[in-house]
Amino acid sequence: MLDISVPAKVLFHLGPVPVTNAVVAAYVSTGVLVVIALLIRRSLSSEPGRLQAFMELLFEYIDNQLLQAFGDHTRARKFFPLIMTLLLFIAIANQLSVFPLIFQVLVEDKPLLRLATSDLSQTLTLGLVVVILSHIVALSMAPLKHIGNYFRIGAILAIRSPKDIGNALIEVFLGIMDLIGELSKIISISCRLFGNLFAGDVMVAVIVSLSAFTQFIVPMPFIFLGIFSGFVQALVFSLLSIQFIAGLVNTAAANKEARLNKGKQAALEQPATA
């Protein structure tokens, strides 16, 4: 009987920590990525082969996307390793569906592997990493201004008359809405990846389980569709991550630059006043 569940199956425990089949698949994907990276490194040459040429094109594309989003090459390059790691890991993790038979390997009547990106907890973790990191960077650049974007206490402190109360309440409400917007980023970026991969995984599993005939030939078109969708979803996740990070970092950089310019102007005006 076909057993489909949203939570990943727990295979064993490492002390108090449960290890699920999605976690095992994530480690397998990481190992495959490391092997591919070592193979590419060994075969690097001034006359690139097909794989090296493809990777160079991919690197150049992501670098251009970062430059367009940040508008500053130095700042864009700082986030290049993170974005490329996310892109390559998700792309490799999504392609385990190419080997449907490995999902039939059982450990105590539980599948040994499950697509890592079809586990909501893992996609939520990736989304949290992207959003929290963007806030940490923004806080390090302009802490007070960044906090003030969400907790607009300044509007309340600026109340001088009854007519200012309405404007202050609107500012506070807009700050709360911005907080909700940051939470929605995590939900949207993670659930989009989870939903697409989980649906594809379930569709292939259902077809494979129908009969002996459908285990091999019938699922092939859906598997190829899953391969294409896996690459697309990895790219979409990476591009959305760029936009989420760049939006906060650029705003914090502008606030920091404005504060520095204000300080310089004050320093220049002080001798003249004296």
Rounded CA separation 9/257 (Å): 50
Predicted model pTM = 0.84
The model's pLDDT over 120-174, given as tens digits with 9 standing for 90+, comes to: 889 999 999 999 999 999 999 888 888 888 888 887 878 888 888 888 888 889 9
Task: Return the pLDDT at 260.
Answer: 77
Cα torsion for 152, 153, 155, 160, to the nearest 10°?
Answer: 170
- pLDDT of 274 reads 47
| Secondary structure (H, E, C), the chain | CCCCCCCCCEEEEECCEEEEHHHHHHHHHHHHHHHHHHHHHHCCCCCCCHHHHHHHHHHHHHHHHHHHHHCCHHHHHHHHHHHHHHHHHHHHHHHHHHCHHHHHCEECCEECCCCHHHCHHHHHHHHHHHHHHHHHHHHHHCHHHHHHCCCCHHHHHCCCCCHHHHHHHHHHHHHHHHHHHHHHHHHHHHHHHHHHHHHHHHHHHHHHHHCCHHHCCCCHHHHHHHHHHHHHHHHHHHHHHHHHHHHHHHHHHHHHHHHHHHHHHHHHHHHHHC
**pLDDT of the residue at 8:** 81
Mean pLDDT of all residues in 227-235: 87
- Mention every residue, 6+ apart, whose C-beta is less than 8 A from residue 242: 65, 66, 69, 79, 83
pLDDT tens for 27-75 read 999 998 999 888 888 888 777 778 788 888 999 999 999 999 998 888 8
The answer on pLDDT for 87 being more than 90 is yes
Convert the pLDDT of each residue in 7-16 to its tens digit. 788 888 888 8
Per-residue pLDDT at 176: 92
d(CA 84, CA 237): 11
For residue 154, the model assigns a pLDDT of 80
Question: Tens digits of per-residue pLDDT, 236-269?
Answer: 999 999 999 999 999 888 888 887 777 777 777 7
